[in-house]
Structure formats: C-alpha cells, structure tokens
Amino acid sequence: MYHAVFHGALHLSFMHEPRQNPRQRLAPYLEALVAFAARQPRRAMVPGHKGGAAADGGLRDALGGGALALDLPTLIEGVDVVAGGSAAPYEVARRLAAEAWGARRTWFLTNGASQGNVAACLAVAQRGERVVVQRTVHASTIDGLVLAGLVPTFVAPEADAGLGIAHCVTPSALDAALAATPGAAAALVVSPTYYGAVADVRGLARVAHAHGVPLVVDEAWGAHLAFSDLLAEHALAAAADLVVSSTHKHAGSLTQSAMLHLGESAHLDEAGIDHALRLVSSTSPSSLLLASLDAARRHAAVHGASLLRRQLSDLETLRRRIRRVRGLEVLDERVVGSFGVAAIDPLRVCVDVRATGLSGHEVARRLREDDVHAELSGEHVVVAVFGLGERVALHGDALVESLGRACARCEPRFRPLALVAPADALSWGPTALSPRAAFLGVRERVPVAAAEGRIAAECLAAYPPGIPNVLPGERLTRATLATLRRTLEHGGVVRGAADPTLRTLLVVAEPAAARDPLDVAAA
C-alpha cells in the first residue's frame, strides 16, 4: 500500500548498499569499550566513579555495573586512538555510519540533534550571513541563528487550518524566498515534521542548488528512512547537502545521541563543519551515547529492512483500529499532494480528535490516567511514535484501548478530515530585528499583559512540540501570547522563557515612540 501511494517519493536504490556489506554487522566502538572493560583495568583516571566501584549504590543498582564499566573518557588507546596510524574503532564506527546512511562523512553527536542544528548554522555562517529558514524549524535552529549571527528570511510552510498544524515548505515557496534573498548562504528546512509529513526534499534541493546554495535538512525525525524502500526517500538520497539526524528518536540509540551527515555537497566542506563542531562539542563526550550510536547503526543497517517491512503492516492495522474508535481519524496518505506533503512517515501516528468534542491536550491527559504517554498533543491532535523494529502491539494495544476509554465519555460529532486550508492558518508576529540583535541587546522584563506589540528578546516555543511561536526580534501578537498561555494551562511548558510561569516576558528595551501602535502596525 505505502509503495503504491508514495511511488513518487520513494528511493528505489541506494548509492551505497550498506545492508549487503558484512562489515555493517560489526560495532567496532561498542566492541572496543566492552573489551577494555573486560580486562578490568586499573583506573587512575576519570570518571570518578571508577567504572562503578565508587558510584552511588542506587545509581549502580539502576544502571547496572556493565553500563558504568563502559563509561570511559576519550583518548583511550585501542578505543579512540590507535598507535601506528591505523583507524581507531571510534573512527571506523563513524565511517560505517556514513556508509549506512550514504554520507560523505558522518559525525557522532552527544548533545542531540540540537547540537547538529547549531553546528549547521555555524558552518553556514562561514559562507555568509543571510539565510532562508523554514519558519517552523526547531528552537535549536533559532539558537544557532543567534550564535552564528545569521540574518534569516523566513519561509512559511503550508498549513492545515482545520487541524491547526504546519506541514512542509514547497519548492515554489523556497524558490520565491531565495529569489528575495540575494546572496543567501543556505536554505534550512525540516523533513519529516513533528506530525509525520515528509517534504519534497528532492525538489527543495533542486531549487536550492539552482540558486547556488546548500540545502540543510533537519531530519531529526527521519533517521529510519534510509533503511527501507517502502518508506519515503531520505534527505541524503534526495541530494540534501547537510542532514541533522536525531538517531535516538526512531533508530534506537540512547537519548541525547544524534548524527550529522554531510552529503556530496559542492557548497560545504568537511573542514568547515569540523571547525563549527569544535565550538559546540564537549571535550568529554559520553562513551555510552557514542556506543549506542554505533549499535543503533548496526541494528538499522543489518535488520532495518526486514523489521520495517513487518512493522508497516502492523502499523496499518493499528490505524484501522484507531479509526474504529468513535470520533477519531488518523492523518494518512490522503494528505499527500496537499500542504507540500510528498509522503507520510508511518512510524508517527497522528490522531485527529476534532470530532470527539475534546481537545488533543484533554485526550492526552486522559491517556496519562491509564499510564499511556503520547509523544505530543495539540489543539486537535495526539501523536504517537514507534521506534524502528518495535513490536507495535507492545504499546499499540494499550494506546487503542486507552483512546477508546478517553473518548467513551464524549459526544462525537463526525467531520471529514480537512484537506484544504488557507496558507496563513498559523501566523506569527512581524520581524523587527535580527534574532542575534534582539537576543543579545538591551532587554527589560514586562508583565505579559503589557507585552503585546513589544519586540521579543527570547525564543518562546510551546513544548511539545518545540516549534517556536515567538522568535527573538519578532513583535509579540495577541494570538501567539494566547497560544503560549493555553500550552501552560494544558500542562505543557514554554521552552526558552526566562519566566517559566509566563507572567513576565523579556522584550527589547526600545523608546516609547517605537512602541506606538502605528509603528507596530507598520513594522
């Protein structure tokens, strides 16, 4: 079914065939850590818990002695470095990851995809200061704009007003934004989205390259796409230049581990990315996170195709079961061709709850009463996430049963899934200053009741999902302030807020004349 629907977005062959390479069955870095710990070496070095011997007993009981024994510093002979010039296990592990995803080079990250997004901005800044950025990028990309001093031209994704969610940037929208930004250094987009929508990355890359700029893709939610021909084409295969991959989200590594992949780019070079990563990388990265990346790569490369084939069938069954619950719909391939969507990632199950008469936040709260925890909720949706190879029934059965209980006490009002929506369904305030100028400028704290019309000095992102509602340099509007308040009322948090209660906000200190309503309207 997915093959037929997504035919235009599938990759039918790989530049590399890592699943056929016997070396992909190895996990050299993980195996080197295990071999080192098995020798029971004398540890006259950090970390201070000495392989667990000096650790808190509760921590040792929780994690187990094996995990603590593998917690090693960098520059261990035979693990991170090897005498004689041959490649160390750590470097071999990164080469195998590059091969598995079809990258020219891959870097392991221990501060999540957020580190990759910030590093991508710092790398791009070496080409120039103007960039075109999808307005619904993750907050970490905005952090990168601030740190790198980049000046963005924002391009809006297509939006579904009925569901109240943003999907993908279209190639035509990117083309117009790049045309309006002469001398742009790069284009930064997101695919897949939080809701499972995959963009036409090949079309976006074609447009970016026609303008002579690299395409940077935040593919945090798409680490698994490279391992099945039944899924949408992954960003590297679609000619993206630099791809941020949050490996832990779907591909099974430990939380906070991620990868950064460089494609066959004529616009970005390895040395420039190395230079950028030095600014945002710890000199003491977690060996446990690095080992989990090595193991996750092996698992995906060796078993991913067969596991996903079985899992996709189970997920389709799960979707049918959810639709049988009165008042529920599921976002699926019917949106392909609308809102810039080229495909839907089936490992994300986006449940439309509008016809229940309940908000997505309320449904998620009722799920938590059953100890069932969704990935995120919105005004009209609840989203569940499944990992590569996960047995769908393990948590899917409980999800369906809990959804049934959550909706049993409502009066469903059935409505069709909205497929046509105005492009301005999600709106933001006008930009008055660059993110860096606003974030690092002179600031003042004002009551939220007095914040409308002021220039934000902080990045405010309702979490989940973490998409910025307000950016540094944007004028605060009544609509965005109301969205942030609703997030807090429903139990969410606002990432980036200096005052987590949102009673006050940080704004740019500006003369009173600049705050005149006529000036705000003209900004």
- The pLDDT mean for the chain works out to 89
Residue 10 has pLDDT above 90, yes or no: no
Q: For the chain, which residues make up each domain, given as ranges?
A: 435-522
Contacts with 340 (C-beta within 8 Å, 6 or more apart), sequence order: 157, 158, 167, 168, 169, 170, 173, 197, 199, 200
The 3-state secondary structure of 420-431, one letter per residue: CCCCCCCCCCCE
| Measured distance CA(226)–CA(19) in Å, rounded | 11
Q: What is the pLDDT of residue 516?
A: 43
Q: For residue 390, give both structure tokens.
A: 């996960």
Partnered with residue 187 across adjacent β-strands are 132, 215
Q: How far apart are CA 381 and CA 60, in angstroms?
A: 40
Interval 345-404: pLDDT, tens? 999 999 999 999 888 989 999 999 999 999 998 888 999 999 999 999 999 999 999 999
Mean pLDDT, range 398-421, rounded to an integer: 71
pLDDT confidence band for 85 (50 / 70 / 90): confident
CB-based contact 509:433 (threshold 8 Å): no
Ramachandran class of 379: left when φ > 0, alpha when ψ lies in -120 to 50, beta otherwise: alpha
Residue 295 burial (CB count, 10 A): 18
Residue-level pLDDT at 460: 87
Q: Which of 152, 147, 151 minimizes the C-alpha distance to 439?
A: 147
* Length reported for the chain: 523
Q: If you write DSSP's letter for every residue of 10-61 in order, what string do you get?
A: B--S-SS-GGG-GGGG--HHHHHHHHHHHT-----SS-TTGGGTTS-HHHHH
**Residue 313: both structure tokens together:** 């069938």
Q: Using DSSP, state whether 8 is helix, strand or coil.
A: helix
So what's the pLDDT on residue 514?
54
Mean pLDDT, residues 466-488 taken together: 85
First to last CA, the chain: 49
pLDDT higher than 80, residue 147: yes
Alpha carbon separation from 396 to 306, 349, 400, 402 (Å, rounded): 20, 10, 6, 10
Show the tokens assigned to 480. Answer: 């965005």
The pLDDT assigned to 412 comes to 60
The correct CATH number of 435-522 out of 3.90.100.10, 1.25.40.80, 2.40.50.140, 3.90.420.10 is 3.90.100.10
For residue 170, which of 185, 182, 153, 155 has the smallest C-alpha distance? 155
Contacts of 101 (CB under 8 A, 6+ apart): 226, 234, 236, 243, 245, 259, 261
* Measured CA distances, 74 to 64, 80, 90, 261, 284 (Å): 22, 6, 10, 22, 6
Q: What span, in angstroms and rounded, lies between the C-alpha atoms of 14 and 134?
A: 28
Q: Tokens representing 196?
A: 């499972």
Structure confidence at residue 522 as a pLDDT band (50, 70, 90): very low
**Among residues of the chain, what percentage have pLDDT more than 70?**
90
Q: What is the helix (H) or strand (E) element at residue 335, kind and residue range?
A: none
DSSP 344-381: E-TTEEEEE-GGGTS-HHHHHHHHHHTT---SEE-SSE
User: Per the confidence metrics, is the pTM higher than 0.85?
Assistant: yes
Span 289-305, pLDDT tens digits: 999 999 999 999 999 99
Residue owning tokens 């995906």: 300
Rounded to whole angstroms, the Cα distance separating 509 from 455 reads 8
**Average pLDDT for 178-185:** 97
Cβ atoms of 147 and 118 closer than 8 Å: yes
Average pLDDT of the segment spanning 426-452: 90
Other C-beta atoms lying within 10 Å of the C-beta of residue 391: 13
Model pLDDT, residue 465: 62
Q: What per-residue confidence (pLDDT) applies to 436?
A: 94
Torsion angles phi and psi, residue 118, rounded to 5: -65, -45
Whether 12 has a pLDDT exceeding 50, the answer reads: no
Identify the pLDDT of residue 161: 79
Using CA atoms, how far apart are residues 515 and 44, in angstroms rounded to an integer?
A: 61
Q: Give the Cα separation of 187 and 283 in Å (integer).
A: 30
Q: What pLDDT does residue 241 have?
A: 98
pLDDT reported for residue 209: 98
Banded model confidence at residue 80, pLDDT cuts 50, 70, 90: very high
Residue bearing the bigger pLDDT, 521 or 177: 177
